[in-house]
Structure 1
Amino acid sequence: MRPLQARMDHWSFLFGQIAIYSFLVLLVTGVFLTFFYDPDLTQVVYQGSYLPLRDVPVSRAFASSLEISFDVRGGLLMRQAHHWATLVFVAAVCLHLLRMFFTGAFRRPRGLNWLIWIGLLVLGMAAGVTGGILPDDMLSSGSLSLIQGITQSIPFIGTTVTGWLFGDEAPGTQIVPIFYWLHVIVLPIIMAELFVARRWLLRRHGHSHYPGAVHVPPLASLALFFFTAAMLTLLGTVAQINPIWQYGPARPGTIGAGAVPDWYMGFLDGAIRIMPAWEPVVGGHPVTLSVLIPALVVPGAFFTVLAAYPLLERRFTRDEKLHHTLDRPREAAVRTALGAAGMTFYGLLWAAAANDQIAHTFDVSLFAVTWFFRIAVIAGPVLAFELTRRLCMGLRGQEREELAHGVETGTIRRSPGGGYTEVTVAVREQAGIGGTPVA
């Protein structure tokens, strides 16, 4: 028998739809931009409409990006809407994964659906990084320097991998064409296939739902699509983002002050900033642990554990049942506490990417701020885990107390003997959101 097809008209279900609709906006705007962008690092003298850079040597990639911004009708709108759609897409995928994690939507039979969304997150981040390289501006130069350092830190094969990407010299002339084809062909096709697979799994297993789920009419989903597209267009119109003409063309070994990556890559920047400068010599070769651990080991381990979590929970809880009804976070205290610990770990690394800005703003030592984050990324998740677990247990205990003694109404009655008692109302488990007891 196929599972229930209805689902709850609940705000937490909107994140997945917003991710899909943002991806559609990315496809439309990306197709437009490909007609005018030139992925070529050959140097030319800029003769376009932006006067401050007139007669400055730039790459064809940078010149075509300026042409899109100033000379193509609607080009700047498309560039900015495309960039905003990337940020919203990754944010929506992250929020959707959090909703799935805290409600247990990854349990059987939806383990593969969980992996699809993990894959979409990783691919969305990769698409953002590769797309950010294409304008060949100063921010692109900083990102390329970071990518070069990360690849060179890989033991034994780092130099070879760097040669495959950059050629004989960095930044070389082949890295932008490689990232271009990854960005416009390979990554979008894989992501589209994952969305198709997700849709097939959804038709096969049905929606997960809260108790008392109601059907959402298709028109509501269509309205959300138009709203998402309209908001991204509005952001592209009034909210400036990535003004490459202000950054200037890429210059190897040079980066602007205060340059930071897009928000979803902030954790990587923060991890590198607070990692101690460890560089031991192994077998006569130096190993740059100060880059290898924060840039490859920590993210790799984090996403591996995240992808494997459904199997790990099933193994430890020995729960092999099929689950179509979602949990409330308090009903799975350990899982919720682990989620809070993971969010704390990610958030602290993300905040550490601004350690210099924090030190400057609050007039404190950069050394002290860095050490604070070094300690916090270890102690913070542990503290968040324990506090969240105790909070969930307390909420469950409060519910059990209400079930046993009733809900306090605030009404006080005086007995004939002169005593005072508060009136309570008996509660029963009723099919509400998450099975919340209601009077």
Structure 2
Amino acid sequence: MSFLNYNTPIQWNRTNAFVLRFLLIYFFIQAIPFDYKFYTDLLAISGGGQGFYILFKIANYNPQFFGLSGYQNWLIAAIIALIGALAADRFYRNTNPDFDKLYYWLRVILRYRLALVAISYGLIKLFPLQMPYPSLGNLHTNYGDFLPWKIYFHTTGIAPPFEAFLGGVEIFAGLLLLYRKTVTFGSGVLAGYYGNVFASNIAYSMGYEVYSLQLTIFAIVLFIYDAPRLYSLLVAQKYTVANTYHPWFDNREKWVRNVVRSLVAVFIIALGYTTYKNYTTAPYKYPKTVGIKDSYGYYNVSVFKFNNVEIPYSTTDMNRWQNVVFEKWATLSIKTARPIVIDEGLGDQFTDSDYERNFESAGVGGRRYFAYEADTLSKTLKLVNKNKNHKEEIFNLNYRVVNDSTIVLTGINEKKDSVYAELNRINKKYLLFEGRRKPIKL
């Protein structure tokens, strides 16, 4: 096929022309949002920091047809593209379009689409939002109680500099795509990068394997443009002429191009600003409400009563609380032996409600995570389970701070059973917090 000739222009025979038309329609459908549901979902996003998430969703548009998911949408797009290519082949058979210019526009669509994705995902890694540092409750969860994707997120999240480095790579490669002369380098980096992401998605069941494969294909299609010439120069060591094709634009086309470039630049700047603002004010995966003052820590439950009957410490009694963690934000988690139906979501949705910010509890068993409302005047707590499979679980409690290491909780659950828990803070040193360069005495 003449697409692979590296020292001669592409020969636009009928087969090559048909393939180009098919790819142009197919990738146009995947890159440009025509889905009305996409816009209704955007309008449904609410909250004080929704600007960041709206821009992020726009940058990561992924078409859905008839409520389908995964590769089924690819099939629908391919059918539409096939019908469009057949129709174009029939109606424009006797014309002679500028196929080099059409190929140029195909690459432009993929360049800007992939650049926005890479920069947006790069930003939420540069400012560690995608894989935040594990909560204290997660650190006190047994390794085997995590779903594989949560292990991957925590493994990356515990090293913010490394996560920021990964984000920097994505941003740099995305910026390279915005300049025609550096597209090959940017697409080559992203082909390997998103290929690795695709493999990780499969291995850790993270749920984005279809989207990551789509991005890998975008990058490969862009890289293929210069791949034969790179092979000729670097492997075959032959004299190779660079492709210097650049289409001629009339004044109207130049105006449109300049407007699009300006809009993309403004979009990227706005996305960068709103992402940084979200990171510094209220990272969207963790609750924004501050927890009870000086409560942060890990507590052993030394005394526990259920319906006024004291239950000794037990790892098998389903009613007995074993330990409790207060986060810096308004989340309290409890270790019990009661079975948990794990929330298999990724906890990556944007919401202004602390109850629905469930990244802590998503993909986790072994602990029960509660969002709470605290009335510091009447010393009351209302706990609501953040796991969507156990949202009926509620506690209405009174709390009493005995001293700087003891908190007493009393109240009832949703079944009107009474509970009494005496919590004793354990001053535990965490090697993750201390790091390698500090002398540690355990």
TM tier relative to shorter chain: under 0.3
Instruction: Pick the structure with greater CA Rg.
Output: 2
TM-score by length of 1: 0.24
Higher strand share: 2
